[in-house]
Amino acid sequence: MARKKVKLAFITNSAARRASFMKRKIGLVKKAEELCTLCDVEACAIIFSSFENEPVVWPGYLGAQQVITKFRRMPEFEQTRKMENQQSFSQERIDKSEEQVRKQIRDNRHMEVTNIMYGCLNGGDFQHLNIHYSKDLCWLLNQNIKDMTRRIELLKEA
């Protein structure tokens, strides 16, 4: 059975928050271990929490220290080359969503003009169209004529 999407918000109930933390901590450490094993990369996880006296360090203090030292020895350019922060990650998501909205608006406009074209072909009135719809309809008709001309040429060649 599929789980419902979890709302990302602060868990106000302390016991539920602690239980969620414990489960997610185990999952995070497991994912770090899988990443190292499956992708042959070096990784470490350091988890600070008010629920525990000491931070959880995976794969251990020495292993984490080695990964951090190796990272700090890299040139600054290499350190920050693929680094993501919350702001840049959020901005990428916003940009991607805005592009999807623009594409959907274009697609909707194309479908709307196509429906107007079919309505006109069925004897509908196009006198009421504003200039923008008229231009779009003209463009769509020209595109359809070009497509049909190409198809005719291809059929003649075959």
pLDDT of 57-98, one tens digit each? 999 999 999 999 999 999 988 888 888 788 888 999 999 999
User: What share of the chain has pLDDT > 90, as a percent?
Assistant: 56
**What is the value of pTM for the model shown?**
0.53
The highest-level CATH class for domain 14-77 is: alpha beta
Tell me which residue of 56, 86, 64 sits closest to 72, measured CA to CA: 64
The DSSP-derived string for 88-114 is: HHHHHHHHHHHHHHHHHHHHHHHHHHH
Residues 64 and 88: beta-carbon distance below 8 Å:
no
pLDDT of 118-142, one tens digit each? 887 888 777 777 888 888 888 888 9
